[in-house]
Amino acid sequence: MGTWGDYYHAIAATMALYQESNRQLVSMSELRPGMSVVDLACGSGLTTLAALAAVPEGLRIYLVDHDPSMLETARRLVGDRVVAIHQADAADAADLIGEQVDRVLCNMSLWQFANPEAVLRRWRGAIKPAGRLCFNLSGTYFNTGEAIVSPQWALLRALHQQGRQVRPVQDLERLPNRRSIEGTLSACGFKPFVHEVQPIQSAKPEAGPGGELHSLIELTPPLGGDSFHGAVQESLTALAGVTDQVSVARVAWRVAHFMAQPAVNPTEVLLARLGGKMPQ
């Protein structure tokens, strides 16, 4: 295996889940030339690649991730087309950009942050009053209202029911839903204004090579092993054993997208026009 960033990119770039969610996030964010854009938790740069496909010239893009290996891959893929690359925690990076930005895009990452609320609060002051925070959550970590929210959730639940050592699966009622996310956004100083659930189809059978679930296991194996490779093998073997039980082929993937603007008062609008930063 090469670097982690290259390994991640080789798999994620082939996945409908990452490609389609990035395309939709970029489309909803309505990017235009001249805008400043943060790709928050950029990974290997897939969101930036989608943004550059939509607006090839004139974006001022900042990359942020805490993983140096991801950033090394992103630098190779898009480094010559971005303003700056910051290796930093998602919350701390809000102080590093040095300007209020038009857009913060965060694809398939928010649930990975140890304290998502802290990240939202810190970025609130780094976004222009008319700017937008655009992010999404995979169905595995969001209650879309379906009985089975994603093939990954179904797999984790089946393994858990078998007594296997996987991280506990949240009951549907305990997963965040539209109301709770919008409440969190409001509590963190944002005005939520768009919510959309995007269904995504796996192009190949879920449990086989190239299937979404198979690929996700290659990136984040749910079972442990004596090495990362061992954990992937162990998890793929377990997947083969529960494919029928979780009916993975019949469950659609869903990604819940949200857009929000800073909820600003007139003083903050004035401050922003005068070039001042909003208080955190």
Ligand X SMILES: C[S@@+](CC[C@H](N)C(=O)[O-])C[C@H]1O[C@@H](n2cnc3c(N)ncnc32)[C@H](O)[C@@H]1O
Provide the binding-site residues for ligand X, judged by CB under 6 A: 12, 18, 22, 41-43, 46-47, 65-67, 70, 89-90, 107-109, 112-113
Residue 38's SS3 state is strand
Question: Quick one: tokens of 187?
Answer: 């509590």
CB of 163 to ligand X, least distance (A): 28
Question: Quick one: tokens of 256?
Answer: 């819940």
Question: Quick one: tokens of 191?
Answer: 């005005």
Report the residue number, 81 or 249, with the smaller CB distance to ligand X.
81
CB of 189 to ligand X, least distance (A): 20
Q: Which residues are bridge partners to 195 per DSSP?
A: 258
CB of 104 to ligand X, least distance (A): 12
Question: Quick one: tokens of 159?
Answer: 């393994």
CB of 119 to ligand X, least distance (A): 7
Report the residue number, 66 or 81, with the smaller CB distance to ligand X.
66
Q: In angstroms, what CA-CA distances link 99 with 18, 62, 189, 277?
A: 28, 11, 19, 8
Report the residue number, 19 or 245, with the smaller CB distance to ligand X.
19
Q: Residue 259 is which amino acid?
A: M
- Give the Cα separation of 86 and 193 in Å (integer): 29
Which residue has the closest beta carbon to ligand X?
43
Report the residue number, 71 or 264, with the smaller CB distance to ligand X.
71
